[in-house]
Chains A and B, each alone.
Chain A
Amino acid sequence: MSPSRRTLLASLGAAALGSTLPRRARAATPSQRRFLFLTCFGGWDPTRVIVPAFGDEAVDLEPDAEPLTVGASRFVDHPDRPGTRSTLDRWGHRLALVHGFIVPSVAHMACLQLLRTGATSGRPDWPAILGSASTGGEPLPHLVISGPSYPDALSPFVARTGSGGQLEALIDGSIVGRTGRTPPVVPGSVRDLEDALVAARRLGAAQRAASPGHRALLDGHLSAEARVQALQAAGAGLRWSSSGSFQDDAMLAVELLAAGICRCASVAHPGLWDSHSDNDVYQSLLWEETMIALGAVLDAMHGTEGPAGGSLLDETVVVLLSEMGRTPLLNSTEGKDHWPYTSALLVGAGVAEGASAGAYDPGLLGARVDPASGLPDEDGEVLTTLDLGATLLTLGDVDPAEWAPTGAPLQSLLA
């Protein structure tokens, strides 16, 4: 199937719910699984949708919030968020939740790095690791559509599309035209000669290299050049830029995942979730937008064929997260402040439908749990970002021992 065909299918994703694609017929192996990371930066209030803290007097909920049960999972429903309700009605039974894990900081950037790497510095993030471990030959193993990325030493495996279509303009050469100059037209035959000569010169340079580091850099160029060749072959006809909305960024990621361009894609919600004042207003709007987008993404992935031949949703782990939670009670300006315990949402390939791990004690304190079962256990531990990371790495067939050594894969989430 050509990339453009996949793109078309992706664009028709919502309508394709009833299509005849072989959904879930051919599940991807863990090493084939793809990942879509959706990040809500600023710190979300999970009690608006995914943490039904009803009955906990130490938590301020919205006045009209109601419990909602879908399958085995419990959520929060609210009349101001019909789109959220719709997404949960369609997909709630498949969503898996991690509750009460701690992000041990109160600073946004530190928390974001902890969430995505398990440390405050010096480590690559989960999508970079998963991308670097790919065996699928994707030209851009981790593609960042928007938002944060911590590649550390894995930067060769990470690329950005740019917020203004920069990658597309690089691929098709139109970037030079943006300067007002006519882009040089290089005949294919001349370019072939140039490619061959550059390759020969790189080989010569590697043989002359004065140090192992120098040689390694030249080898790095060879690998990157190979990715460029693959990208230019696979990227023609694909959409590479979006309107910048969360949903469109996420849909772009779906298309590029489906086309086999990347193993991991990262998208960040463009809004700032840091609701120190007027928490209920901002969080409600942001959650509604996010959950509508999530629903559209899952619809599209369900109706799109993935590179391994199954439904893209059955080949892809979708992760929705935020770097921190918010305090249980409203402050004097009706806001909620930073909170180190939070939740994350997973769905898709290898993720047990309707599963959960972790829990909250009263007052939204992360509960001690048995990591194997995910159930409260006074002898257990509060979950950490490393446990979340170890779970994601395990889902992607990467041994967590190297990158999340103290984390334990949350077995209850694994199908």
Chain B
Amino acid sequence: MVTHVTAALLLSACAGAPPEPATTPSDPLAALTRLSLDLRGVRPSTAELEAVAADAQALDPLRAAFFEDPRLAEQVVAGFAEVWNTVRDETEHPASALGLEDEPGFARAVGEEPLRILAEVAMQDLPWTEIVTADWTRVDAQLALVWPVELLEEPAADGWRRARYTDGRPAAGALVSNGLWWRYETSENNASRGRANQLSRILLCRDFTLDLVAFDRSLDLSDEEAVRAALHDNPGCAGCHSTLDPLASLLGGVYVTRKSGVEELLRYHPEREGIWRTQTGVPPSYFGLPAEALGDLGQRIAADPNFIDCAVQQSAELLLRRPLTLEDTDKRTAWREQFLDSGLTLRSLWEAIVRSEEYEEGAKLLTPALLSSMIEDLTGFRLLVDGADLLRTSTYGLATLAGAGDGEFATGVAQDWSATLVLVQNRVAEAAADHAVRVEPSRLLAVDPTAELDYDALREAIAALHLRVLSRAAAESELEALSTHHAEVARLSGSEAAWVSVLTVLLRDPELLVY
């Protein structure tokens, strides 16, 4: 059996880089905020801010604590969702076809299934290779009802738990999750090539479709047999197909088409593992190495150094919010070594990245998912319709308008402001402020919002609010401006409305989304 140890050995020639000491941040509160948002999805608490403001060294234990926080799992799910693109608002077969009622919840659960495997591997400090070799999956309450699985444990606080498919599918982690293949369909004509490319893109960072195809005009493209032969014989075709087709041939067990019934989509099909004979016509293999079915594919991927490099690249790009370049080569190597030295635990890899100078550089814009979790943590408000978070859905929600990537057309997360993001922030700010002050006043405010306060008490309360919401102490001029604003609105609409307005201003502040 090939394990992460094998992968480590394959890369041992480059080993030896020691863990990098954390850099001393030039702005400890900004560094704390970035860590807290990236690792927990929320801004730091007032106590955490005050601790770091008093002593920048307090950042180290807080960073360590953030890596133990269960909310890290949600950040792993949200981050890799941008890569896997499995989460959609709808599924080909609706929940109702399976006797379920929560359509958006079911669609989200289906798409999250493979991502929850990743999160579990990360949070349990299992070797990252488990994502393609595990003999278990993760299911929520809805998937538990309809997937052919046995439940292995009680649900965790997030509602998800381990389960094992009982339909004979091999142990291959996310590779054999229904959620992956419900997202990426195939057809008889495509013969799983598109699926094979998705595996390559997601797990090896090698997207065959980025290559331009040099069509040979002497080839009769209208002749199906000639085309089939050219896939192996013609240099312009074989360049990709010689490796892509054997990968596709490994996917027979999960072969279903758009026209298949929902029952077919639920189950693995061991009887189809040999379907490649009538589809690609190419025996299965993994880049020239022997492999016969999906279980072998998981083992081969786990042993592939490109799989390790790809995890490093994806993690770094998610945390830095920029593509890696040649200038990052040394750092990338160091991160990989730390990943290997840790036994391929994702938390170690992420820790190596967030302790680097590169992580401290530049500025990032909150994703809509982060905006949602941050606002909920601050104010208790969520933009929910029928249980669906509008900041996390696109078809009926605001995710794409707020800059989320489009899972259908594989566009990335926006890295800059758009008019619609400003509109989203403004509307969310108004509603969240209204909720926080009128419904849950003790959550954010140190005072009764309906009470008349003297000037000093007002300034003190505003200062505390500013620190909590924007993660930095307000300057004297800011306190003055906010206090004056409070007084003016209170004169027009009363004290409670004044607090709503002050909080609205803070939640509309562009600094809230730039971190």
Which residues of A are in contact with B by a Cβ distance under 8 Å? 58, 102, 104-107, 109-110, 112, 114, 120-121, 139-140, 147-151, 153, 155-160, 162-164, 166-167, 170-171, 173, 175-176, 178-181, 183-184, 186-187, 189-190, 193-194, 197-198, 200-202, 204-205, 209-211, 213-214, 217-218, 220-221, 223-225, 227-228, 231, 276, 327-329, 331-332, 335, 337, 339-340, 363-365
Partner pick for A198 among B197, B217, B222, B505, CB 8 A cutoff: B505
Binary CB contact string for chain B from 217 to 231 against chain A (1 if under 8 A, 0 otherwise):
100111010000000
A214 close to B478 (CB less than 8 A): no
Q: State whether A104 touches B390 (Cβ < 8 A).
A: no
Question: In the bound complex, how far is the Cα of B390 from the Cα of A173, in angstroms?
Answer: 14
In this complex, the member of A106, A147, A173, A180 whose beta carbon has the largest number of chain B beta carbons within 10 angstroms is A106
Contacting pair A164 B510 (CB below 8 A): no
Interchain CB contact (< 8 A) of B505 among A58, A201, A363:
A201
- Most chain B CB neighbours (cut-off 10 Å) among A155, A187, A227: A155
- The chain B residue sitting closest to A116, CB to CB, is B409
A221 touches which one: B410, B422, B434, B489 (CB < 8 A)? B422
New contact pairs (8) apart from A190-B489, A201-B505, A327-B221, CB-CB < 8 Å: A107-B197, A140-B419, A160-B420, A184-B434, A193-B488, A231-B419, A340-B215, A363-B222
Give complex CA distance A162, B30 in Å: 34
Chain B contacts for A120, CB-based, 8 A: 209-212
Do A201 and B478 have beta carbons less than 8 Å apart? yes
- Residues on the B chain within 8 Å of A105, using CB: 209, 212-213
Q: CB within 8 Å of A: which of B3-29? A: 26-27
Which of A114, A189, A198, A363 gathers the greatest number of chain B CB atoms within 10 Å? A198
Whether the pair B396, A164 counts as a contact (CB closer than 8 A) is: yes
For A58, A151, A176, A183, the residue with the greatest tally of chain B CB atoms inside 10 Å of its CB is A176
Q: A235 to B442, alpha carbons, bound, how many Å?
A: 38
Return chain B residues, CB-CB under 8 Å to A228. Answer: 419, 422-423, 426
In whole angstroms, how far apart are the Cα atoms of A330 and B209 in the complex?
A: 25
B414, B419, B478 pick with most chain A CB within 10 angstroms: B419
A45 and B414 CA atoms in complex are apart in Å by 34
CA distance A328 to B227 in the complex (A): 14
B421 A224 Cβ-Cβ under 8 A: yes
Which of these, A102, A106, A211, contacts B362 with CB under 8 Å? A211
A171 proximity list for chain B (CB < 8 A):
423
Given the complex, which residues of B lie within 8 Å of A201, measured CB to CB?
A: 478, 481, 505, 509, 511
Q: How many A-B residue pairs have CB under 8 A?
A: 213
Q: Which residues of A contact B435 (CB under 8 A)?
A: 181
B418 at the interface (CB under 8 A from A): yes
B437 (CB) vs chain A CBs: closest residue:
A184
* A178 CB contacts on chain B under 8 angstroms: 385, 390
Q: Does B384 contact A (CB under 8 A)?
A: yes
Min CB gap B161→A, angstroms: 30
Q: Which residue of A lies closest to B435 (CB)?
A: A181
Q: Is the CB of B508 within 8 A of A194?
A: yes
Verify A224–B426 contact, CB threshold 8 A.
Answer: no
Judge whether A175 and B390 touch: CB under 8 Å: yes
Residues of A within 8 A of B211 (CB): 120
> Cβ of B414: which chain A residues have Cβ within 8 Å of it?
151, 155
User: Quick one: closest B residue to A232, CB to CB?
Assistant: B423
Q: Give CA–CA (A200, B477) in the complex, Å.
A: 11
Bound-state CA distance A58–B221 (Å) is 11
Residue of B194, B214, B362, B406 near A107 (CB, 8 A) is B194
Distance in Å from the Cβ of B8 to the closest Cβ of chain A? 31
Contact between B363 and A198 (Cβ–Cβ < 8 Å)? no
Nearest neighbor of A58 in chain B, beta-carbon distance:
B222
22 sampled A-B residue pairs with Cβ under 8 A: A105-B212, A109-B410, A147-B409, A149-B406, A150-B409, A155-B418, A160-B420, A166-B398, A179-B385, A186-B501, A187-B493, A190-B501, A194-B485, A197-B485, A197-B505, A198-B508, A198-B509, A205-B511, A209-B363, A210-B26, A224-B417, A224-B421
